[in-house]
Amino acid sequence: MRATLVFDLDGTLAETAPDIMATLNHLLVREGLDMLPVSAARQLVGAGARALLERGFKAAGRPLEAEKLETLFQAFLVHYLDHVAELSFLFPGVESALKGLAGEGYGLAICTNKPEAHSLALVEQLGILPMFRKVAGRETFAFCKPDPRHLTETIRAAGGDAARAIMIGDSRTDVDTARAAGIPVVGVTFGYTDVPMAELKPDRIIEHFDALPEAIRALAR
């Protein structure tokens, strides 16, 4: 059996910052604060919606107390689900790379800290949901990245074996998760991270999805 390939979602498979930031800005404006630019996503996105809100409101000049954070978190989930794929799009080369790898017999899965309902809705609206054997979100299991069990349980749920798996991600969280699970990791350079991918030292680095199949084959060997 070929290896199971487990992808992060935001910043790895898809450019989702415009919709995520639009929801954050919707809440900032509602609270009487100025909007943040989409370019701020690299410093804000990647650790889940609560962290996004904490970082976003702090950047806008109003740190959140726990109770207010929870209220805004629930509002964020509702608004974002309604607008999850209005501006988001797959990175160049994603669809052809996924089709090619699936055709070679690799199993495909997603492991993301995005809520499961939002992940499924996004992947479905982007037209690639049927390619994946499992889409695991933040609350799919009792733990989430960087806990390595989020990754290993995703692999298991996809019918794979953690001894024959590769992670593909864009951030320190993805690299740390893969390392903790003892699984090779491919890092992309175009995602959401405040630390350059080269500094995180993944097993392979790609700058475009056209380079993914060869990186996977090299690691699989």
3-class state of residue 121 by DSSP: helix
Identify the active-site residue in 8, 10, 170, 174. Answer: 8
8 labelled catalytic: yes
Q: What residue type is assigned to position 98 of the chain?
A: L
Question: Which is nearest to 160 in space by CA: 128, 187, 192, 136?
Answer: 136
User: 92 with 207: CB under 8 angstroms?
Assistant: no
Tokens of 95: 């669809």
Tokens of 53: 């809100």
Q: Rounded distance, CA 118 to CA 194, Å?
A: 24
Query: For residue 127, how many other CB atoms are within 10 A of its CB?
Result: 11
Sequence-separated (6 or more) residues with CB below 8 Å from residue 96: 209, 210
Buried (b) or exposed (e) across 72-111, using 16+ Cβ within 10 A? bbeebeebbeeebbeebebbebbbebbebbbeeebbbbbb
Question: Active-site residue numbers?
Answer: 8
